[in-house]
Amino acid sequence: MDYQALKNLVKRGEGSQLEFKLKTNHPEKIIRGIVAFANTRGGIMLIGVADDKRIAGLKYADEDEYLLVRAISKFCFPRISYNIERVQLPDEREVLVIRVPLSLSKPHYIIPDPANPDDKKAYVRVADMSVQASREVREILKGEQAERSIRFTYGDKEQKLMHHLGEHNSITVDLFASIAGVSRRIASRTLVLLVLAHVLDIHPSEAMDHYTTRPIS
**Each residue of 1-30: b (16+ CB within 10 Å) or e?**
eeeeebeebbeeebebbbbbbbebeebeeb
Q: Tell me whether residue 91 is in a domain.
A: yes
Short-list 82, 199, 119, CA closest to 152: 199
Domain edge (last residue) among 132, 156, 179? 132
Of 132, 156, 175, the residue that ends a domain is 132
**Same domain, yes or no, for 128 and 159?**
no
Domain that holds residue 109: 3-132
Please report the pLDDT score of residue 117 as a whole number: 79
Q: Count the domains in the chain.
A: 2
Residue 77: count other Cβ atoms within 10 Å of its Cβ: 17
Domain boundary among 132, 166, 185: 132
Residues 92 and 46 in one domain: yes
DSSP string across 63-76: HHHHHHHHHHHHHE
Is 137 part of any domain?
no
Enumerate residues 6+ apart whose C-beta is below 8 A from 187. Answer: 157, 173, 174, 176, 177, 180
Q: What is the pLDDT of residues 153-207, one digit of tens each?
A: 789 999 999 999 999 999 999 999 999 999 999 999 999 999 999 999 999 998 9
Claim to verify: residue 93 and residue 175 sit in the same structural domain = no
Largest CA distance in the chain: 67
Claim: this prediction has a pTM higher than 0.85: yes
In terms of domains, do 118 and 20 share one? yes
Q: Is residue 29 situated within a structural domain? A: yes
CATH number, residue 93: 3.30.950.30
The reply to whether 8 and 104 lie within a common domain is yes
Examine the domain organization and report whether 124 and 196 are in the same domain.
Answer: no
Cα(141)–Cα(63) distance, integer angstroms:
34
Count how many residues are written for the chain: 217
| Model confidence pLDDT, tens digit, residues 109-141 | 999 887 887 889 999 999 999 999 999 999 999
The domain that holds 184 is classified in CATH as: 1.10.10.10
